[in-house]
Structure 1
Amino acid sequence: MAQQQGDEMEYVADDNDNEMADAEDDMYFRGRVSGDSESESDDDDEYDSMENRMTDTTAAEARKGKDIQGIPWDRLSISREKYRQTRLEQYKNYENIPQSGELSEKECSVTYSGGKYYDFWQNTRSVKSTILHFQLRNLVWSTSKHDVYLVSSYSIIHWSSLSSKKSEILNVSGHVAPCEKHPGSLLEGFTQTQISTLAVRDKLLIAGGFQGELICKYIDRTGVSFCSRTTYDDNAITNAIDIYEHPSGAVHFMASNNDCGVRDFDMERFQLSKHFSFSWPVNHTSLSPDGKLLVIVGDNPEGLLVDSQTGKTVKPLFGHLDYSFASAWHPDGHIFATGNQDKTCRVWDVRNLSKSVAVLKGNLGAIRSIRFTSDGRFMAMAEPADFVHVYDAKSGFEKEQEIDFFGEISGVSFSPDTESLFIGVWDRTYGSLLQYNRRRNYKYLDCL
């Protein structure tokens, strides 16, 4: 994966011409709406001299015609439809393999849009998720239909959609050190950690950093429980973290790193239990529901299906054209998916890996995040910006709901009970947290 250089905490993609915040056409959002795009801070919510404020948007307001992000299209010199077309034409997808090209329409699966599986519930501008590395987008995690955790600058924030309140869970801008003593823990801790990836499951929160840092905190405990540096290699960035329950009942997590390693940590003993090395940087790892297989993707068009006990390759995965940054297992343990910078998500079946079950194509760019609902009914596929696709896995991924907005996507997460879908949006003006609720015939609940 591409590396970030320098000590400044800044959004890497600001220097890339493929990001919304740096695009000339973003003048409609920041220059024309706020009046001063250069001096605007993330905390300044005022958008004109009359001190009108861009407020949160509710489902009831959206049904009456309000833009879900609060963008005042009627005051702009461009329509939403025209701006969407401009984005589709001008957005440049990042490629690590130049001229990797795109798959033809014939190679991609035919999908039917118009599905309605999740309804817009609210857009919250009180919490603004941020992105530090433009290729890593696993920075939003939901632990219930009301609770979500996300990265905002040097902080990890908890947002409750029930109380509409946010709270800071962890701040890594200064010195962070474990308050518990464990044999495998780095007691001196870290200073000014740059968070590259995040994972939260039940009460365990793990943040990964650009220098191979791992910071583990139990949400219901004071302080940090465990700190570790995976490697002192110059190429140390922690690309992804996968928390899971070991067959023994202990909680484990796997860290995927740019030094070509995958490391398994036992959080009952707070120790490294396994370390596998590969021939290329590992960008994402997913463990099968039965704990026997690992999907490994990274800086190679060829992915790997690996034995989780030995680290030996069971089967290579052929088909992608560029580097991959996302993977996920279906709860049935047979189906899994991989997301690539060739703008596709490939769906695989372990019972026949000779070819993909489906090849799902994005609109703008790389597939950076993939999530299945816990019941296996739906799969969310997030592009780097503007689009999240929700597929009906039960129908063989032939039907989809396309969620359309403007801004970089910091992460997507279904709640464990499948009732909520959270989407983190990074933008200097319109940064927010979108919440969609699983479609039920309960419209009368809006009054609550």
Structure 2
Amino acid sequence: MKKLVVLGGGESGVGTAILGKKEGFDVFVSDKGVITEKYKEVLRNFEIEWEEQKHTEAKVLEADVVMKSPGIPDTVALVKRLREREIPVISEIEFAANHTSAMFIGITGSNGKTTTTMLTHHILKQGGLNVNMAGNIGDSFAKQVAENDAPYYVLELSSFQLDGIKDFVPHIAILTNITPDHLDRYDYKFENYIASKFRIVMNQNEDDYFIYDADDEVITQYIKKNPIRSRLLPFSLTKKIENGAYLEDNNIKIIIDNNEIIMPTTDLSLKGNHNVKNAMAAATVSQLLKIRKTTIRECLENFHGVEHRLESVLKINNVQYINDSKATNVNATFYALDAMKSATVWIVGGVDKGNDYTELFPLVNEKVKAIICLGVDNSKIINAFGNCVDNIVETQSMKEAVNMAYKIAERNESVLLSPACASFDLFKNYEERGRQFKEAVREL
């Protein structure tokens, strides 16, 4: 019996353990932290052996294959030891993909991947396909393969998940954009992070498709130097595309092998240029999979978006409150500010991941009337924007930040939470940060 060791007892780890057990592996789950009660219960029910608050090295090194959770860096001593012994260390994506014959639509990028994943899944489902959604979102991919496998999967893939693939190949791959993010995991080298994202196409061939943003310099430069075997279907807001998607007179046009679909951007339920791109990517997939054009149009008109991503919360005294807590990097906040149509009170701050704020200066000059800092250390934000905005306030809690915004914002203006930073200094994660924002707004 082959031995599967799972490092990390979270969603992806426990899902992999369930699938491993079903496929006849001898499974052992090891977590350096504490495994939550919910997951312990599952492991007990499936009679899977586990340990917490330690990795027993002797047991881990007995593995035939190791599934490593995406949160564990490759630089950890135990992972290095496994590699020295040539024991395969893979991600949940690689493991689960080996146990299903489904077709995969894989979506990665620094920003926009969650919206694009949910939108693609929404259209395919409404179009009548039996399709699951997994990866960096929702229930574990491996668990779904074990318990309710489907012929199609839309997978949101982080760079960490792609680092752990060997043979995984999506029939359709989407790369939404690449901007510097998570550089602390890539030796602070942007090129390492870029290469990681492009692993999504490494096993594709001429029968597969690669959908990408042709306006993204980083992507187009990489493609020039590194030929890609699959069929390229770019999308663009600025240039005309022969095979792919582009914008013409406020209409999205998608052309694949002379088959055309046209959709006015005014009908899109999600606002902002970045969402036009997300819609292009999702609609291109749907066109490839022969979803009816009317279904694609209806779905783009009625899709409500992702929680914590430019989410309209409430209008109070004619001031619109918007929750964009999912903006954990500068580029995501750029999109949010770009989508603002009125003077904005901007709530920003948290754990800085080596941010360079210069690209935000033009938008801040044009749209932001006051900045409310929400972080333990706000000095970098104050230094960056001191010359752009007269009114910069520091706060220590979400309630205080929202109350301050309420005092500053006037009729027909907006209050935008778009932190551009990670949340770990004051909150558990960006979801908790967004929920606290919504609660504080509702209490006004």
- Tell me the TM-score normalised to structure 1 length: 0.27
Q: Name the larger-Rg structure.
A: 2
Q: Would you tell me which structure has more helix in proportion to its own residues? A: 2
Bigger RCO of structures 1 and 2 (CA < 8 A, at least 6 apart): 1
- Tell me the TM-score normalised to structure 2 length: 0.27
Q: Would you tell me which structure has more strand in proportion to its own residues? A: 1
